[in-house]
């Protein structure tokens, strides 16, 4: 035929598939790593932005979820 058999084509296709899936796998791992890094960066920013001002005494405090001023004890 054209100098290559069905067997050679199958082997070639398998090699191409292996390279393709290998590349995709590495790419996905890299993307996940980047996303995790981005997420942890966002989390840090969130913590910084979570400063709340007490309406009664005006003290800025980190919002710990207690929804209560640490200085005067009034709710936010
Ligand atoms: Zn207060």
Each residue's pLDDT tens digit, 20-58:
999 999 999 999 999 999 888 777 666 666 777 888 998
Q: Which has more confidence, 49 or 62?
A: 62
C-alpha 72 to ligand 1 mean position (Å): 4
Spell out the residues 6+ positions from residue 60 whose beta carbon is closer than 8 angstroms to its own.
51, 52, 53, 54
CB atoms closer than 10 angstroms to residue 68: 13
C-alpha 64 to ligand 1 mean position (Å): 14
Report the distance separating Cα 50 and Cα 47, nearest Å.
5
> Residues lining ligand 1 (ion), CB within 5 A?
54, 57, 69, 71-72
Predicted local distance difference test score (pLDDT) of residue 68: 80
């Amino acid at each position: 035929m054209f100098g290559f058999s069905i067997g050679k084509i199958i082997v070639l296709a398998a090699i191409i598939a292996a390279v393709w899936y290998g590349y995709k796998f590495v790419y996905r791992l890299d993307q996940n790593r980047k996303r995790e890094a981005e997420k942890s960066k966002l989390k840090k920013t969130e913590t910084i932005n979570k400063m709340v001002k007490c309406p009664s005494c005006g003290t800025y405090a980190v919002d710990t979820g207690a929804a209560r001023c640490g200085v005067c004890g009034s709710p936010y």
